[in-house]
Structure 1
């Protein structure tokens, strides 16, 4: 397979994975979060009972790894294209900052308090505070996912515009016309 094709595949997978991640976070926001955080600590207890077979922690880590790995691959394939490379590097930086680092530093400790520590360890007031902090911080993750997806999609559009046969023919004709002047 040619480098152009590998680059196209890497960019398509990156866009797909970043949009799946963003879509998952958006779905959590409207479907799960009102149920999980709506009436802490009772809603946290219900969430513990409900999220037994699987939950966000089963879905997002593999998907996040896919986003990061395809960012690395797309960056490697587009390194010779500085006008494209920086869109991908920016997507990777936003994703790593908002989805990974922010999660590790902000969400993981709160998840521990709400869902791992034994029931009764923390006061209801403290659990409500932690739940409110979690929901407020969630908007950073949602915005980061939107920005990552937009940057990755922009990179794909720029790549397709640059490599599409019709645009190549137009550029060649424009170069021929320029050469005649």
Structure 2
């Protein structure tokens, strides 16, 4: 039973980590270049586009899921030294990325995608 639970947490953690990586790459190379191209017109279009969902609706729950599944995976593989170091290292990276995101990206995303032109000038 423990082996199946460990497998579930490891696969879930890996799957969520790959989704996060793909989302970061998509955001950096596709979304942001389009948002910051030909400002202020692109800013208005991006506000309309991000009305239903934006980075603030996607990344926080997914980041929390990565922390939870990572913690579960770490607890379950603790006795396996090579796996422990890889899982612990990846969790530390995910936590660091989450903290950097909270400090630097969340306030800017709130300005760009939530408050917008009604509160801030372009």
Q: Could you state the TM-score of these two structures normalised by the residue count of structure 1? A: 0.61
Q: Deviations over 1:10-53 (max 9, x none)?
A: 11111100001111111222332221122233222211111111
Structure 2, gaps ≥5 residues long:
none
CA distance in 2, matches of 1:117, 1:55: 12
The structure having more radius of gyration, on CA atoms, is: 1
Q: Please, what is the CA RMSD of the aligned residues?
A: 1.8
Corresponding residue pairs, total: 122
Structure 1 residue 123 displacement after superposition: 5.1
Higher deviation after alignment, 101-110 or 23-32: 23-32
| Alignment partners' CA distance in 1, 2:106 and 2:39 | 18
CA offsets 1:125-181 (integer angstroms, 9 cap, x no match): xxxxxxxxxxxxxxxxxxxxxxxxxxxxxxxxxxxxxxxxxxxxxxxxxxxxxxxxx
Q: Which residue of 2 aligns with 1:22?
A: 21
Q: Is the 8 A contact 2:13 2:70 kept in 1?
A: yes
- In structure 2, relative to structure 1, the CA distance for the partners of 1:60 and 1:85 (3 Å cut) is same
- Displacement, 1:122? 4.5
Give 4+ residue runs of structure 1 displaced > 4 Å after superposition. Answer: 120-124
Change (3 A) 1:30 1:62: same
CA distance in 2 between counterparts of 1:117 and 1:52 reads 11
Q: CA shift at 1:120, angstroms?
A: 6.5
Other-structure match for 1:106: 104
**1:66-145 equivalent positions in 2, closer than 5 A:** 66-98=65-97, 100-117=98-115, 119=117, 122=120, 124=122
Structure 1 gaps, min length 5: 125-181
Q: Do the aligned partners of residues 17 and 51 (structure 1) sit closer, same or farther apart at CA in structure 2, a change above 3 Å counting?
A: same
